[in-house]
Structure 1
Amino acid sequence: MDRIRIVGGNQLNGVIPISGAKNAALPLMIAALLTDETLILDNVPRLADVALLQRILGNHGVDIMSAGKRPGDHEYQGQTLHISAANIIDTTAPYELVSKMRASFWVIAPLIARCREAKVSLPGGCAIGTRPVDLLIMALDKLGAKLAIDAGYVVASAPDGLTGAGIDFPKVTVSGTHVAMMAASLARGTTVITNAAREPEIADVADCLNKMGARISGAGTSRIVIEGVKKLHGARHQVLPDRIETGTYAMAVAMTGGDVLLTGARPELLQAALDVLIEAGTTITPTNEGIRVARNGAGISPVDVATAPFPGFPTDLQAQLMALMTRAKGTSHLTETIFENRFMHVQELARFGARIQLDGETATIEGIDKLRGAPVMATDLRASVSLVIAALAAEGETMVNRVYHLDRGFERLEDKLSACGATIERISG
Structure 2
Amino acid sequence: MIIVDGPAELGGEITIQGAKNSTLPLLAAAVICKGQTVLHNCPRLSDVETAVRILEHLGCRCRREGSDLIVDNAMTCCEIPNDLMRGMRSSIVFLGALVSRCGEANLYFPGGCELGPRPIDLHISSLKKLGVEIEETGGCLHCRAPHGIVGNYVSLSFPSVGATENLMLAAVCSHGTTIIANAAREPEISDLAAYLNRCGGRIYGAGESCIIIDGVKELFGSEHRIMPDRIVTVTYMAAAAVTGGNITLKDVDNTHILPMLSPFEESGCEVRQLGGALNIMAPRHLGAVRHIRTMPYPGFPTDAQPIVMSMAAVGSGTSIFVENIFENRYKHAEELERLGARIKVEGKVAIVEGVEQLFGAPVTSYDLRGGAALVVAALAAQGRTEISGTRYIHRGYEDIAGNLSSLGARIREFAGSGEPEAEES
Q: Does 1:82 align with 2:70?
A: yes
The question of 1:66 aligning with 2:64 is answered: yes
2:376 corresponds to:
389
Corresponding residue for residue 227 of structure 1: 214
What is residue 243 of structure 2 aligned with on the other side? 256
Partner Cα distance (2:11, 2:321) in 1: 28
TM-score (ref. length: structure 2): 0.96
Deviations 1:107-153 (A, max 9, x none): 11111111101011011111001111111111110000111101111
1:266 aligns to 2:253 (yes or no): yes
- CA displacement, residues 319-355 of structure 1 (integer Å, 9 cap, x when unaligned): 0111110111111100000111010001100100111
Whole-Å separation in 2 of the counterparts to 1:115 and 1:15: 46
SS where residue 321 of structure 1 aligns? Answer: helix
State the 1:296 CA deviation: 2.6
Partner of 2:86: 99
How far off its partner does 1:85 sit?
Answer: 1.7
Percent of aligned positions with the same letter in both sequences?
Answer: 40
- State the 1:288 CA deviation: 2.6
SS at match of 1:226: strand
Show the counterpart of 2:287. 300
- Map Cα deviations across residues 74-100 of structure 1 (whole Å, 9 max, x no partner): xxxxx21111223x2121111111011
Letter aligned with residue 401 of structure 2: E
CA distance in structure 2 between the aligned counterparts of 1:28 and 1:117, rounded to whole angstroms? 20
State yes or no: 1:427 paired with 2:414: yes
CA distance in 2, matches of 1:141, 1:83: 29
Aligned length: 416
The correspondence of residues 341-356 of structure 1 with structure 2, limited to 5 A, is 341-356=328-343
Cα drift, residue 105 of structure 1: 1.7
Cα distance in 1 between the residues matched to 2:86 and 2:285: 46
Q: 2:54 aligns with which of 32, 53, 56?
A: 56
Partner of 1:31: 29
One-letter amino acid matched to 1:126:
C
RMSD, matched Cα: 0.9
Partners of 2:196 and 2:93 in 1: CA distance:
15
Q: Report the equivalent of 2:95.
A: 108
Task: Name which of 289, 306, 325 aligns with 1:319.
Answer: 306
| Contact 2:131 2:147 (C-alpha < 8 Å) held by counterparts | no
Question: Which whole-Å CA distance do the structure 1 matches of 2:286 and 2:206 have between them?
Answer: 40
Deviation at 1:282, TM superposition (A): 0.8
- 1:329 aligned partner: 316
1:40 aligns with 38
State the secondary structure of the residue aligned to 2:41.
Answer: strand
Q: Work out whether 1:379 is the aligned partner of 2:366.
A: yes
Which 5+ residue runs of structure 2 have no aligned equivalent? 417-425
1:119 match: secondary structure = strand
- 1:34-81 deviation per Cα after TM superposition (whole angstroms, max 9, x unaligned): 0221111100001111111101111111111211x3xxxxxxxxx211
**Alignment match of 1:357 (pick from 344, 353, 357):** 344
Contact 1:261 1:292 in 2 (8 A): yes
- How much does 1:298 deviate? 4.1
Letter in 2 for 1:365: V
Structure 1: segments with no counterpart, 5+ residues: 70-78
**Residue type matched to 1:61 in 2?**
G
Contact 2:33 2:73 in 1 (8 A): yes
Partner of residue 423, structure 2: none
Per-residue CA distance 1:214-256 (angstroms, 9 max, x = gap): 0000000000000000110111100000000001111111111
Looking at structure 2, the residues matched to 351 and 215 of structure 1 have their Cα atoms a distance apart, in angstroms, of: 51
Cα pair 2:17 2:228 within 8 Å, conserved:
yes
Give the distance between the partners of 1:14 and 1:192, measured in 2 at CA. Answer: 46
Q: Which amino acid aligns with 2:86?
A: S
C-alpha distance in structure 1 between counterparts of 2:344 and 2:389, whole Å: 25
Local SS of the residue matching 1:44: coil
Q: Do the aligned partners of 1:270 and 1:311 also contact (CA within 8 Å) in 2?
A: no
TM-score (norm 1): 0.96
SS at match of 2:17: coil
Instruction: Report deviation, 1:316.
Output: 0.3
Of 148, 162, 169, the match for 1:175 = 162
1:153 maps onto 2:151 in alignment = no
| Partners of 2:51 and 2:290 in 1: CA distance | 38
Q: 1:217 aligns with which of 204, 227, 244?
A: 204
Q: Say which SS state the counterpart of residue 44 (structure 2) adopts.
A: coil
Q: Contact (CA 8 Å) 1:302, 1:329: kept in 2 or not?
A: no
What's the counterpart of residue 11 of structure 1? Answer: 9
